[in-house]
Amino acid sequence: MPVPMKAGTVLRTRYKVIKIIGQGGTGCIYLADDLRLEGRLCAVKEVEYDRALPEEMLNESRDQFQREATVLARLDHPNLPKVSDVFSIHDRDYLVMDFIPGKDLRQLMMEARQNKTFLPEKEVLNWADQLADALNFLHTQQSPILHRDIKPSNLKLTPNGLLKLVDFGLVKMLAPGEVTITVLQGQGTALYTPLEQYGGDSGHTDARSDIYAFGGTLYHLLTNEPPVNVRDRFLKPGSMPHLRNLNPDISVRTERAIHWALQLHPEDRPDSIDAFRKALFTEDAPVIKDSQGKRTMPRLLRKVEISLIALAGSLVLISFLLTLLRNF
């Protein structure tokens, strides 16, 4: 775990650290005072690399950080913090962004839970609409950008009601002819992470991976209960309660849309942010059912089940043939 800098440390003769406001396996995020622009506060994200990496891989990681940070600095959207500076000091890289005042959505949800109530669906859907705008903007860049760590604590609400998607620590850019390129290793927060993201850089992640985390975030905000971890869901299908079982005031449309986003297999989810937004606001999401009207297994589990059935059938056939041979 990286050792945090002390308050008062000045970076690049410009950014004076006030306090640490976030910490993870690859670095810290600090609240800092911009000494060149009086009164401006900023968030400085520090990235420290694994010192055990071979020199070639380390250099490649740092080059990727510079390329992707440059792309982030060009982004301009009301629901995203503005990246204003990128620099390196010795073996660490830094990303400077606007500091976003206000509470994050996890804090608001916890307050509602302590009061034994739920956040109003109308309010949560307003935030969802703003988040959809931000993600659609990222996903439709010339080289689509994935956030990969959408969760309530990464969504801040400014005093004027504007939602901001913060912390680009696990950002990925999709490149033509490649699955993904990435600057930072990580899989996101387990509660909101889709199954395919556990493959690290070898797993195929795309817009549907952010859609899963989006759906998990809304599930948590509306029910005060986190979605069941995908690994547990894989091992125990049907283990995640439906939203209306936890909060009966949620509309059927909202419930269907969120459960659609939370399908284990990417092909069973909405294929774009626009499709998910339509399911939330204007169209009914599909309800995946079999011919008997029962909900089917997610596609990934159906493939496992089909393989097991095929294997069982083969064993029965072999047993039958052996019996015939013995009779001869």
pLDDT tens digits for 188-225?
A: 467 888 888 775 544 577 899 999 999 999 999 999 99
| Residues 16 and 10: beta-carbon distance below 8 Å | yes
3-state percent helix, strand, coil for the chain, nearest multiple of 5? 45, 20, 40
- Which residues are CB-neighbours of 253 under 8 A, at least 6 positions away? 279, 280, 284, 285
pLDDT over 90 at 328, yes or no? no
Instruction: Count Cβ atoms within 10 A of the Cβ of residue 236 and give its class: 0-12 exposed, 13-18 middle, 19 or more buried.
Output: exposed
Q: Which of 197, 255, 207, 262 is nearest to 233 (CA)?
A: 262
pLDDT at residue 205, rounded to an integer: 79
Could you say which of 34, 93, 133, 149 is catalytic? 149
Task: Report the C-alpha gap between 227 and 213 in whole angstroms.
Answer: 10
pLDDT over 50 at 187, yes or no? no
- Tokens 């109530």, located at residue: 117
Beta bridge partners of 45: 29, 95
Stated as kind and residue range, the H or E segment containing 30 is: strand 27-34
Helix, strand or coil, per DSSP, at residue 66: helix
Give 114-144 pLDDT, tens digit per residue.
999 999 999 999 999 999 999 999 999 888 8
Stated as kind and residue range, the H or E segment containing 77 is: none
pLDDT band at 292 (very low <50, low <70, confident <90, very high): very low
pLDDT at residue 184, rounded to an integer: 33
pLDDT over 90 at 30, yes or no? yes
Mean predicted confidence (pLDDT) in 225-252: 93
- Which residues are CB-neighbours of 108 under 8 A, at least 6 positions away? 119, 157
Class in CATH terms, 103-296: mainly alpha
pLDDT at residue 324, rounded to an integer: 53
Question: What is the residue-averaged pLDDT of the chain?
Answer: 82
Q: What is the pTM of this model?
A: 0.78
Helix, strand or coil, per DSSP, at residue 119: coil
> Where in the chain do CATH 1.10.510.10 domains reside?
103-296
pLDDT band at 308 (very low <50, low <70, confident <90, very high): very low
**Could you give the angle at the alpha carbon of 74 between the alpha carbons of 208 and 134, nearest 5°?**
35
> Where in the chain do CATH 3.30.200.20 domains reside?
10-98
pLDDT at residue 321, rounded to an integer: 52
Instruction: Mark whether 149 is an active-site residue.
Output: yes
Task: Report the C-alpha gap between 60 and 29 in whole angstroms.
Answer: 23
What fold does the segment set 10-98 form as a domain?
Phosphorylase Kinase; domain 1 (3.30.200)
Task: Report the C-alpha gap between 263 and 287 in whole angstroms.
Answer: 11
